[in-house]
């Protein structure tokens, strides 16, 4: 009987080249705009915008985490998102976007429409995309969604989308491939901002696109080469180094997130508490079917903007910052940006890897401080 290696072993070893005497386990970043290239210009390494050995190792690593896939790394999550959306559709095509996904993905709608692409939107909850598939060329899913933490059934929607002739892309930023594997669930593309939990230290920007279809991978690579949205070698190397702790970070974040959600459940000033890992959450059942870890984001609503700002200001261990997925906990009042359908007191809380008791003590103290009138 074959033995399937565990997530920790997979993460620690992902993308590392075979051992070679006197070579490091993970070769350092290669800084090169060009490579020695006499005669016929054959690959793999020709010009720095096309290929780089540090990207190659990172892309192999993420491909292994994705369950076997061809991966193209990008300079940011949005570079990866737009590479799929803009390389796969042409004038006259129809794209289905979630109306509650990351707001900058939704901001691509105007660009797509200016190119003659029709855009439809549907909610993430309740698999509402199923009613919007007719004639679509590409369906975009983001599950769990940011910031609302709704979940849709990837396998169900992918089956229906393929029957309707549409490709399916999943933004898997929140889950990472150790939380959920969209390609195993039938998606054509797994896309992510690796700025977030995959790299997990809040110190670099990166994204990737994974696919198992060689033709789709070629189109995405050509897109990267022609728009030049390439990662820096230093970021690619730092990202690869960070993957070795992915399972540890995700496991601790999941423990902390569930503990935080549990501690917030009975607070009278909190409404709309969401965490897909929380039994009883509206997304728990579909999440439990397709996710192996539920991520690090908890969201909830305080009575109003001032109350939420008092809470955020009273936290001492938790950074007030946007983004999520870092080893450092962070939180923000999401409504301060505009663009999301959230209440003024809505807080998106990204749980880090601090000790659970310290995190809960800080949050509880800040809630008590915020409850007192200013
Ligand atoms: N997708 C999701 C779900 C995100 O939350 C983000 C950023 O917040 C992005 C994509 C874009 O990623 P980046 O900021 O790395 O460009």
Domain locations along the chain: 7-243, 246-371
Q: What letter would DSSP give residue 26?
A: S
* 315 neighbors 362 (Cβ within 8 angstroms): yes
Q: Which parts of the chain have pLDDT scores under 50?
A: none
* 298 neighbors 275 (Cβ within 8 angstroms): yes
Q: What CATH number should be reported for the domain whose range is 7-243? A: 3.40.640.10
3-state helix, strand, coil in the chain (%, to 5): 40, 15, 45
Kind plus residue range of the DSSP H or E element containing 208: strand 207-211
**Is 225 in the active site?**
no
How many Å lie between the centroid of ligand 1 and the Cα of residue 102?
Answer: 7
pLDDT for position 107: 97
Q: What CATH number should be reported for the domain whose range is 246-371? A: 3.90.1150.10
From the candidates 181, 196, 221, 293, give the one annotated as an active-site residue.
Answer: 196
**Is 171 in the active site?**
yes
Task: Provide the strand spans (E) within 36-182.
Answer: 70-74, 94-98, 118-122, 138-142, 167-171
pLDDT for position 160: 98
How many Å lie between the centroid of ligand 1 and the Cα of residue 281?
Answer: 24
Q: Is 75 in the pocket of ligand 1 (CB under 6 A)?
A: no
pLDDT for position 1: 53
pLDDT for position 292: 98
From the candidates 127, 171, 194, 281, give the one annotated as an active-site residue.
Answer: 171
Total-model pTM = 0.98
| Most informative mutation of 193, 206, 324 for ligand 1 (most atoms within 8 A of CB) | 193
d(CA 87, CA 248): 35
């Amino acid at each position: 009987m074959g033995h399937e290696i565990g997530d920790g072993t997979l993460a620690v070893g992902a993308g590392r080249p075979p051992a070679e005497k006197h070579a490091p386990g993970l070769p350092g970043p290669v800084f090169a705009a060009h490579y020695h290239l006499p005669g016929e210009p054959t690959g793999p390494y020709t010009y720095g915008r096309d290929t780089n050995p540090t990207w190659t190792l990172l892309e192999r690593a993420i491909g292994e985490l994705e369950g076997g896939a061809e991966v193209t790394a990008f300079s940011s999550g949005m570079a990866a998102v737009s590479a799929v959306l803009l390389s796969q559709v042409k004038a006259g095509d129809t794209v289905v976007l979630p109306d509650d996904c990351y707001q900058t993905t939704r901001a691509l709608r105007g660009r797509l429409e200016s190119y003659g692409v029709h855009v439809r939107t549907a909610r993430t909850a309740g698999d509402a995309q199923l009613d919007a598939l007719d004639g679509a060329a590409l369906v975009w899913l983001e599950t769990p969604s940011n910031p609302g933490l709704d979940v849709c059934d990837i396998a169900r929607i992918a089956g229906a989308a393929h029957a309707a002739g549409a490709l399916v892309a999943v933004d898997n930023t929140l889950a990472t491939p150790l939380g959920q594997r969209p390609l195993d669930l039938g998606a054509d593309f797994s896309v992510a901002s690796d700025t977030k939990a995959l790299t997990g230290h809040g110190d670099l920007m990166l994204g990737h696109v994974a696919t198992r279809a060689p033709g789709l991978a070629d189109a995405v690579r050509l897109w990267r080469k022609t728009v030049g949205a390439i990662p820096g070698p230093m970021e690619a190397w730092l990202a690869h180094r960070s993957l070795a702790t992915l399972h540890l970070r995700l496991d601790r974040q999941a423990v902390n997130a569930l503990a935080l959600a549990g501690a917030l459940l009975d607070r009278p000033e909190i409404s709309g508490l969401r965490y897909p890992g929380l039994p009883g959450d509206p997304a728990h059942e579909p999440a439990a079917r397709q996710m192996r870890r539920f991520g690090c984001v908890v969201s909830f609503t305080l009575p109003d903007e001032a109350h939420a700002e008092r809470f955020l200001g009273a936290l001492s261990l938790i950074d007030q910052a946007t983004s999520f997925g870092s080893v450092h906990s962070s939180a923000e009042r999401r409504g301060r940006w505009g663009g999301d359908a959230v209440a003024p007191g809505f807080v998106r809380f990204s749980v880090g890897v601090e000790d659970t008791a310290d995190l809960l003590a800080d949050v509880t103290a800040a809630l008590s401080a915020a409850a007192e009138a200013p």
